[in-house]
Amino acid sequence: MNAGAHAGEVAVVTGANKGLGREIARRLAQEGMVVHLGARDEERGRAAAEELRGDGGDVRFLQLDVTDQDQVDAAEARVEAKNGRLDVLVNNAGTLLELDTPVTEAGGDQLRDTYEVNLFGAIALTRAFVPLLRRSAPARVVNMSTPLGSMSLAGDPETHFSKMGLLAYSSSKAALNCTTVLYANALRDKGVLVNSAWPGFVATDLNRQRGSLTIEQGAELPVELALLGSNGPTGGFFMRGEDGTRTSVPW
């Protein structure tokens, strides 16, 4: 394990029993962090945490359905009791329920269920952990987003993103981006950095493995933002540019 600048820091990663969340948890553990691996499914979550511990990381299963306020509160209480603070929160849990649903047919439960996870869940977690984040300087919050939540790109008929037509998913991520900015403004003077990250079009279960990037490639930017120093950006929306460097996504 890496005994560098982030050794001993504490992280929570939601939706981390598989895919991108699991890889982010693995890499933060490699940095020497104590990683609480949040997952709804206890069996899968414990198995993922055990497997990552086999790689030498301090990874602990955290029962966490982000739509269940009791579980959110219990997760915060557990981290406080075990660690007393939080350095990194990665709001990775997300859902996409309308991959083949036209905009004009989306609605009802699709919208409610999508917002419960993608927006309200991220807000519930951030709100619960703010007191612990304030005990660390700098602390970092990373919200997983997408250009599908960019008003600028959605409003440009020449872009690929304007043609995707995912009403619930796109609008929930646009709202999450706004949430990123509002939290960044509110916590700026507390040493808490809050940013949105687009990992790229990663092949995951969320998109039925249609993505062109690997999980390993997709984890690079979220982890970079999770490791920012005190002089790092806050209130930004970032992606990897063609040259591989971090670049801004238009709001």
Which sequence positions are flagged as catalytic? 169
| Distance in angstroms (rounded) separating the CA atoms of residues 219 and 204 | 12
| Distance in angstroms (rounded) separating the CA atoms of residues 237 and 150 | 9
| Distance in angstroms (rounded) separating the CA atoms of residues 32 and 21 | 17
| Distance in angstroms (rounded) separating the CA atoms of residues 155 and 236 | 20
| CB within 8 Å of 52: residues ≥ 6 apart | 22, 25, 26, 29, 35, 37, 59
Q: Give the closest residue to 197 by CA, choosing from 220, 215, 214, 164.
A: 220
| Distance in angstroms (rounded) separating the CA atoms of residues 132 and 145 | 23
| Distance in angstroms (rounded) separating the CA atoms of residues 91 and 249 | 18
By DSSP bridging, strand 237-240 and strand 246-248 are antiparallel
How remote is the C-alpha of 98 from its chain's centroid?
Answer: 20
